[in-house]
Structure 1
């Protein structure tokens, strides 16, 4: 009972924060975005970290996220939270934590979820959101090599599972329509061109370059079983 209560308190905090952020964003489209306080950013990053651990440790938490559409929408929105805007180092670092933990939440849903869960991710623009993380042209994507690598890793594993299906439980058959929809979302963000750029990125001792090549191969449906 206590675990369930903690989940809903965490969910409410995330949804409330995201509602405030999106309303502010819509009302300030032509102005400098407001800066959240360090304490509020720290609190929401902590809530997202807690939720990530809950999803990883408890399949019931995963399903609860899926069954609260506004929570899943909030996680999707926070993947690109304040991306490309800078205030100062402390604020920027906390914003990065918000984005990073949001991605981890969605990744665990991707990793542990069934076919319906994959569908919900696609419907919430998962391919589009992840593409933005490694689309660095014009300064709109992540600047840290680790986050670029994570974005590439998440999307390549997601697409491979959609193309091939998943044998581990909960298993599912190939989902080609979801794969195609995801690739269309990526294309809309210019991800194919950005992949070409990342294939020349020598960051992390060539790890980003290798991951970008692998992602490109997955999109072309040429799977490499031994990496």
Structure 2
């Protein structure tokens, strides 16, 4: 089966030359490779079936997304728009693992895969990186969205269930 090799390669490309700053043109090309690799993976999980989810979880898709958001020390993406898109992907991926999918190809919740992804993230200190984004000052259009998306990612990671009719504490 060639799919695991493709996924593994795309995941490696998600973090291609992430913390190596050389020539501006090379940095732009590297960023282009990273963004397009994440876009490919996003399309794969959005349109994939249950077996695709299993492969993505086992090859470390969630971890790759978290690493790409790791701005501490200048390692990950510094653009707020890319950070927000990354958060949207990690939130959606974890949510579908927790709740299952009800569109395209239906499948039930995958608690075992959730655990695999959460362990991968925890081993790399990924939740600390996400938590650091909750204080991201951001700029312009994404100023508040980055903080909100980081908080939502933590909620999905911790698998909170918040009943919408509950009264929020002051």
| Fold match (TM-score > 0.5) | yes
Partner residue of 1:206 out of 144, 148, 164: 144
Q: TM-score, normalised by structure 2?
A: 0.88
Partner residue of 2:100 out of 144, 160, 165: 165
In the alignment, is the contact (CA less than 8 A) between 1:133 and 1:142 conserved in 2?
Answer: yes
Q: TM-score, normalised by structure 1?
A: 0.67
Is residue 183 of structure 1 aligned with residue 118 of structure 2? Answer: yes
Looking at structure 1, the residues matched to 46 and 163 of structure 2 have their Cα atoms a distance apart, in angstroms, of 18
In the alignment, is the contact (CA less than 8 A) between 1:162 and 1:175 conserved in 2?
Answer: yes
Higher helix proportion: 1
1:1-227 aligned within 5 A: 67-203=2-138, 204-223=142-161
Instruction: Give the C-alpha shift of residue 166 in structure 1.
Output: 0.6
Instruction: Give the C-alpha shift of residue 221 in structure 1.
Output: 1.4
Task: Provide the aligned C-alpha RMSD in A.
Answer: 1.7
**Structure 1: runs of 5 or more not aligned:** 1-65
Instruction: Give the C-alpha shift of residue 69 in structure 1.
Output: 3.1
Instruction: Give the C-alpha shift of residue 222 in structure 1.
Output: 2.1
**Structure 2: runs of 5 or more not aligned:** 165-170
Measured against aligned partners, the alpha-carbon deviations of 1:85-113 in whole angstroms (never above 9, x if no partner) come to 11122211111010000001111111111
